[in-house]
Chains A and B, each alone.
Chain A
Amino acid sequence: MPTPRTVLGPYFTLALEPHELPALHSDSQNGAVIRVHGRLYGADGKPVPFGMIETQQPEGLTRSEIQPDGRFEIVTVKPAAAAGRAPHLSVMIQIASQVRRAFTFLYFPEDDHSQDVVLQMVDEGRRSGLIAQRVADGYRVDLHISGPDETPLFELVPA
């Protein structure tokens, strides 16, 4: 029987510090830094305070803190594409006061998504919620954990 999950609690940054992609300070990555920022909203359109967003891509892992105003910022490089997938960040959202974490995927506006097996599973009208917008200093994507603009979320099943 697996060890049960619990909430993260309010003090997780004592051990789980936010960090950008670890490989960023090598010379080959300096020109390629991207910032993906946004806010996490609840069903009432108000920000969700406190929690963390972790991302995964072939180049490594990042962790961002969700601030009291719901804002987060991911500092990384544009992910390489993998077979059957458009370039994307795999994302885990953990609200500090919740037990379950939410999984989703973030895509980039300049890429062709038509062959991405995961994005094609999502109802057509909801796909845009997973595609970031290009902004002056990088990319922006607002995430909605609940409500009418709810971001498409995923549940992992074994295999």
Chain B
Amino acid sequence: MLDEPWHDEIPPGFTKPSYSNPDLWSPRSQLYAIPSRLLDVSSPVFGHTATQEGDNDLIGKESLALGEEILVVGRVTDSWGRPAAGMLLEIWQANAAGRYRHKNDPRLKPVDPHFTGAGRTLTATDGSYWFRTIKPGAYPWGSDVDAWRAQHIHFSISGRGLSERLITQMLFPGDPLIDRDIIVHNVRDEKAKGLLISRIDWTMSVPERAIAYRFDIVLGGTCGTPTE
């Protein structure tokens, strides 16, 4: 963990984007190693703001969002397989056309007025969660003809405090863009790459309505299971 690179390397064959400056933004000094309990010493007493019903439904009751309706389901556990209950999951994604509803997305792809692309939920006592959303379209990240991200949903996981933070992304099985994806390219361990890819879960799918994709999340290292 201590020698993970700070920045993603752009795979060979791609033009380096202008927004990233890895050499100037990577720490050069030795980091001071501290046990995570020294961070947890100031853990807040209060948890997250409560989520409200419907926060995990990115389509909404009117169901007018364009694209394939899907469920995203999973369980959050720690490295020992223990359920991580009461974790806040926040997701964000592009619409079916591959456009983010955000001021920084310059692409001339249509915004879906019925889809914002953000949701949140808390994991249950067994660590499980679910979202209802549409499958995001592929998103071009650069000017090269093959500079496309694989279809993905961004995940942020929070526990009691900063030592229990994870930022990750969920990809879709069988997506031909995974082979050239810059995020996947930068996961060094071959087995770990697979952990970013969801799989169809027929037991959670809804006939004639929505396919469910399962994305289980394992918190590692200093991300412990919150107690109580």
Whole-angstrom distance between the Cβ of A13 and the nearest chain B Cβ: 7
A31 within 8 A of B: no
B162 within 8 A of A: yes
Whole-angstrom distance between the Cβ of A40 and the nearest chain B Cβ: 9
Q: Is the CB of B8 within 8 A of A7?
A: yes
B145 within 8 A of A: no
Q: Name the residue in A11, A83, A84, A92 with the highest tally of chain B Cβ atoms < 10 Å from its Cβ.
A: A11
Chain A contacts for B22, CB-based, 8 A? 98
Partner of B162, one of A9, A16, A54, A122: A54
Chain B contacts for A146, CB-based, 8 A? 24-28
B218 within 8 A of A: yes
**Per-residue interface assignment for chain A, residues 21 to 62, with 1 indicating a CB less than 8 Å from any chain B CB and 0 otherwise:** 011000000000000000000111010111000101111110
A141 within 8 A of B: no
A100 within 8 A of B: yes
Closest to B101 in A: A14
Contact A153 to B28, CB < 8 A, known contacts A14-B116, A16-B156: no
B119 within 8 A of A: yes
A121 within 8 A of B: yes
A114 within 8 A of B: no
B interface, over-half SS: loop
Partner of B28, one of A3, A43, A46, A103: A43
B45 within 8 A of A: yes
Q: Is the CB of B27 within 8 A of A150?
A: yes
Task: Give the distance in Å from the alpha carbon of A50 to the alpha carbon of B188 in the complex.
Answer: 25
Task: Give the distance in Å from the alpha carbon of A156 to the alpha carbon of B24 in the complex.
Answer: 23
Chain B contacts for A75, CB-based, 8 A? none
Closest to A144 in B: B27
Determine the interface band of chain A, counting residues with CB < 8 A from chain B: 35 or more
Task: Give the distance in Å from the alpha carbon of A159 to the alpha carbon of B102 in the complex.
Answer: 39
Chain B contacts for A147, CB-based, 8 A? 24, 28
Stretch at the interface among B34-42, B59-67, B203-211: B34-42
B104 within 8 A of A: yes
**Per-residue interface assignment for chain B, residues 212 to 228, with 1 indicating a CB less than 8 Å from any chain A CB and 0 otherwise:** 00000111111100000
Q: Is the CB of A4 within 8 A of B36?
A: no
Q: Is the CB of A145 within 8 A of B104?
A: no
Task: Give the distance in Å from the alpha carbon of A121 to the alpha carbon of B31 in the complex.
Answer: 11
Chain A contacts for B5, CB-based, 8 A? 99-100
Q: Is the CB of A22 within 8 A of B49?
A: yes
A133 within 8 A of B: no
Chain B contacts for A117, CB-based, 8 A? 38
Q: Is the CB of B32 within 8 A of A100?
A: no
**Per-residue interface assignment for chain B, residues 12 to 50, with 1 indicating a CB less than 8 Å from any chain A CB and 0 otherwise:** 000000011111111111011111111101111110010
Within 8 A of A (CB), among B43-92: 43-46, 49, 79, 90-92
Residue contacts A-B, CB under 8 angstroms, 16 given: A1-B189, A3-B220, A14-B118, A15-B92, A16-B156, A22-B46, A42-B25, A43-B25, A44-B24, A83-B41, A97-B20, A98-B7, A99-B186, A100-B7, A145-B27, A156-B36
List 11 other contacts, CB 8 Å, given A101-B165, A145-B25, A154-B32. Answer: A1-B192, A4-B187, A8-B154, A15-B120, A49-B19, A56-B43, A85-B42, A97-B20, A99-B4, A103-B39, A145-B27
Interface residues of B (CB under 8 A from A): 1-2, 4-8, 19-29, 31-39, 41-46, 49, 79, 90-92, 100-102, 104-105, 116-120, 154, 156, 161-163, 165-169, 183, 186-187, 189, 191-193, 195-196, 217-223
Top 8 A-B residue pairs of the complex, sorted by shortest distance between their CB atoms: A2-B220, A15-B92, A42-B24, A155-B31, A15-B118, A14-B92, A11-B102, A156-B36
